[in-house]
Structure 1
Amino acid sequence: MRPASEAEKARLNDTFVDLCRIVSPSGDEAACAERVERELRGMGLEVIRDEAGNLLARVKGRGERTVLLCAHLDTVPAHAPIEPVLVDGAWENEHDGILGADNKAAVAMLLEIARRCSIESSPVGVELVFTVQEEVGLLGAKRFDASQLQAEFGYVFDHATPIGEIVTSSPTLYRIEAHFLGKSAHAGLRPEEGHSAILAAAHAAAHMPHGRIGPQTTANLGFFHGGVESTNVVPERARLLAEVRSVDPDKAEEVLAGVIDALHDGAAHGACDVDVITEKQVVGYRQKPSSPAVVAAEAALTAHGYEPKRIATGGASDANVFEAAGIPCVNVANGTQNNHEPTERVPQYALEAMLDIGFTLLQEAAAA
């Protein structure tokens, strides 16, 4: 497919700016979804919105193969107004807050790809999925009915690193919640009759795995709360939230077991009870270098002068959910920078380069 025209690049930038101005934190994506749906229907495409708020649109292709292109509509909370401005060739927020390039740079790109394909056709069929609540546990993708898709493989564009990087492995992630129950007592009169849930939880926290466990494995204690706002009561309750993630699923389970053992040891140390709840929030994946999704992505990047680099990430994306649903999916870096931070930005050249790469990706996907 030919490179993007100046008109397409200009419209891409305008659409991106308009989307960023629509504040859409997780759970409040309706206005952004309505804008995207209106754009798609204006191209003559049918749009399906599911109960979660996800959008699905299809573009017919010249060949039999269909691929999935996905971006998410939500952002992390915006603590300042969003007014995109160009600074030294990059889009930034004029105010001290996020820009929303994560993931509206990808949303704008997919809309422009859909526009051309709806007019000139595409070498492959395209299924466009725009998800909600990605930033709070991939909840939109998890509620999306992937069985309705015909895509052989797919792509999300949700990695805030330089263009050229391709996420070929992503971790399995466990969430751990622990509730400690001790016994309250007057701390000045009868402390020996109490059992401190805070001390039990603190013992557990001090002995559970933390930080970088290995090259592809981490553990983190993210929340610790207990007691009441009074110093004269032996605290009866405490609550911990932690996570374990690893690209190696066996290692993830091993570290998870270590966390659970520490929680129970802490409870025993403090003569308390503990209720431990674990949830596998994300299923990890590894892509083979020879898979059509990877081959096509690398060919598209190479065609535009970028050196492909396969990477493992400690983060998760909607790609994990589609992988678990049986659709091989690759997360492609889109050149955005400092996502989730007030300094978030995206160079204009990266925004426009990803549009050209997206067009070429469809061509390479047809041949992979």
Structure 2
Amino acid sequence: MADCLAAKLRELGFAVEEDRAWEKALSEEGIVPEGQKEAGRSDRAGNLYGFLQGTIPGQPVLFSAHMDTVEPSKGKKAFLEPDGTIHSDGTTVLGADDVAGLVEILEGIRAVLESGNPHRDIEVLFPIAEELYTVGTSSMTEEEFGKIRAKEAYVPDMSGMPGTAANRAPSLISFRATVTGRASHAGFEPEKGIHAIQAAAEAVTKIKMGHIDEETTCNIGVIQGGSGTNIVPEECTAEGEIRSYVHEKALACLDRVTEIFRQTAESFGASADVRYTVHLHAYETGMESVPVRRFRRVCRSLGLTGDITSTFGGSDNNTFAEHGIEGLVLSCGMYQAHSVKEYTRTADLAAGAKLIAGLILDSE
């Protein structure tokens, strides 16, 4: 995918660079199989960055869509129906998340160049591993982000018809609580054991799930423990996530979860260790910001709604916001994403490409 996109960008006149994100991120995450981590392998992709010199002065604009998809993805076959619907054969995802975004960016840029209209500098960033909590862009160094000149970004990576954009997304924190008790024979001497599953289960019952408030959710989705029915379990793990539009609320929820596990475990004579990872940091792009005003203005000119909404999912735009780049996540005509029923429509792809072209050409 990276090689294909790099070639297409060079055909459009872009200077293209590819970093080593697969080394810095994927190998650290344990995704690259052992024995395949050596540098220089042609089958390992990094984030693609492209720059195209503008023909008029003005602030550069950044477009981004990720190259990876969720599974099952191998052996995709796309079918185009007479009404313009594009879908897979039902055994894999289509990959419209986020190939629809890639298509619209490339076609929008191509349309601008073919029109001969003057345009400002254009930058693109096509990351790897967005589906793994933005591992690709999160692996980028300050020096690598420093190459990006734009302070305005558009990320077509949201379900729905083109014409809607999200200006707000949450923090996302995953956690893993490990409760350690003491093993013993469940039949002969259960009283000598400390039941880790029981301690963990009681802690889970004390944690509020679902909506903590209108901006925050908490969920424990995986619990595992024990090694046999005749053994008092020595260890139990519980894994979950916290999301919030306010980063401080997410951290406060994490503190509560941690304290509940520790106090409950201690009451059983066990111990609890809670580890966590902050995958995404909440952001909100202001309604009077350049991206919002430009998006609405271009949508009006194209007869699109120009609606501004929120999303409770993350994207590479979360990472951009952390590095001082204001942006929006755009609906790009993907439907039923993350399933084998995923589809897109040619009319949406065309509308999305026109929107990208409009965002490039808008000079106000």
- TM tier, shorter chain? 0.7 to 0.9
Q: What is the distance in 1 between the residues matched to 2:104 and 2:330?
A: 13
Q: What is the distance in 2 between the residues matched to 1:74 and 1:285?
A: 23
Equivalent residues of 2:79, 2:86 under 8 A apart: yes
Which of 88, 91, 98 matches 1:93?
Answer: 88
1:350 aligned partner: 348
Equivalent residues of 1:132, 1:140 under 8 A apart: yes
| Pair 211,264 (structure 1): closer, same or farther in 2 beyond 3 Å | same
Q: What is the distance in 2 between the residues matched to 1:294 and 1:233?
A: 59
| Pair 80,35 (structure 1): closer, same or farther in 2 beyond 3 Å | closer
Counterpart of 1:215, as a letter, is: E
2:68 aligned partner: 74
Instruction: Structure 1 unaligned segments of length 5 or more: list them.
Output: 1-31
How much has 1:165 moved relative to structure 2?
Answer: 1.9
Q: What is the distance in 2 between the residues matched to 1:232 and 1:281?
A: 39
Comparing 324-333 and 301-310, the one that deviates more: 301-310
Q: What is the distance in 1 between the residues matched to 2:261 and 2:8?
A: 51
Q: What is the distance in 2 between the residues matched to 1:220 and 1:284?
A: 18
1:105 aligns with 2:100: yes
1:84 aligns with 2:87: no
1:334 aligned partner: 332
Q: What is the distance in 2 between the residues matched to 1:358 and 1:43?
A: 15
Which of 34, 38, 41 matches 2:7?
Answer: 38
Instruction: Structure 2 unaligned segments of length 5 or more: list them.
Output: 22-45
Counterpart of 1:140, as a letter, is: G
Counterpart of 1:134, as a letter, is: E
CA RMSD of aligned residues (A): 1.6
How much has 1:140 moved relative to structure 2?
Answer: 0.4
Residues 289-342 of structure 1: CA deviation (Å, up to 9, x unaligned): 100011111112221112122112111100000000111121111121111011
1:55 aligns with 2:24: no
| Pair 326,79 (structure 1): closer, same or farther in 2 beyond 3 Å | closer
How much has 1:113 moved relative to structure 2?
Answer: 3.0
Equivalent residues of 1:216, 1:314 under 8 A apart: no
Q: What is the distance in 1 between the residues matched to 2:70 and 2:63?
A: 22
How much has 1:33 moved relative to structure 2?
Answer: 0.6
Q: Any residues of structure 2 matched to 1:108-123 within 5 Å, and which? A: 108-117=103-112, 120=116, 122-123=118-119
Residue 251 of structure 2 aligns to a residue in which SS?
Answer: helix
How much has 1:43 moved relative to structure 2?
Answer: 2.8
1:140 aligns with 2:136: yes
Structure ranking higher in helix proportion? 1
Counterpart of 1:305, as a letter, is: G
2:160 aligned partner: 161
Residues 82-128 of structure 1: CA deviation (Å, up to 9, x unaligned): 11112342111123331000000111122223334556365221111
How much has 1:280 moved relative to structure 2?
Answer: 1.7
Residues 70-93 of structure 1: CA deviation (Å, up to 9, x unaligned): 000000012663111123421111
How much has 1:212 moved relative to structure 2?
Answer: 2.0
TM-score in terms of structure 2 length: 0.88
Equivalent residues of 2:109, 2:357 under 8 A apart: no
Equivalent residues of 1:81, 1:95 under 8 A apart: no
Q: What is the distance in 2 between the residues matched to 1:225 and 1:45?
A: 50
Residue 254 of structure 2 aligns to a residue in which SS?
Answer: helix
Counterpart of 1:54, as a letter, is: N
Q: Any residues of structure 2 matched to 1:1-368 within 5 Å, and which? A: 32-52=1-21, 53-61=46-54, 62-78=56-72, 81-87=75-81, 88-117=83-112, 120=116, 122-144=118-140, 145-228=144-227, 230-364=228-362, 366-367=363-364
Comparing 210-219 and 289-298, the one that deviates more: 210-219
| Pair 185,122 (structure 1): closer, same or farther in 2 beyond 3 Å | farther
TM-score in terms of structure 1 length: 0.87
Q: What is the distance in 2 between the residues matched to 1:38 and 1:220?
A: 43
Comparing 254-263 and 133-142, the one that deviates more: 254-263
Equivalent residues of 2:112, 2:361 under 8 A apart: no
Counterpart of 1:246, as a letter, is: S
Equivalent residues of 1:163, 1:350 under 8 A apart: yes
| Pair 118,302 (structure 1): closer, same or farther in 2 beyond 3 Å | closer
